[in-house]
Amino acid sequence: NYLLLDEAPWSALAPVFDLTVMIDVPEAELRRRLTARWEHYQLTPDQIAHKLEVVDLPNGRRIREGSRAPDLVLRQG
């Protein structure tokens, strides 16, 4: 997830890649998929909410907002 992030130390990797790809998934779909993942691990609703709101979704927003432009974007719904 962090390989396109335009901040150190990740930005130092840019010259290494011949092709970069970002998979663009709407946040609502990310939330659905992540919720299913954490349910699979039998986390409680409160634990899932914490993971989503404090860890997973903020990290996803950081990547989306702070990444270099990829060579190719794959959009998923």
Q: pLDDT for 12-62, tens place per residue?
A: 999 999 999 999 999 999 999 999 999 999 999 999 999 999 999 999 999
**pLDDT band, residue 69 (cuts 50/70/90):** very high
- Residue 53 CA to residue 68 CA, distance in Å, equals 24
Contacts of 29 (CB under 8 A, 6+ apart): 76, 77
Work out whether strand 72-75 and strand 21-24 pair parallel, antiparallel, or are unpaired: parallel
Alpha-helical regions (H) of the chain: 27-40, 45-50, 57-66
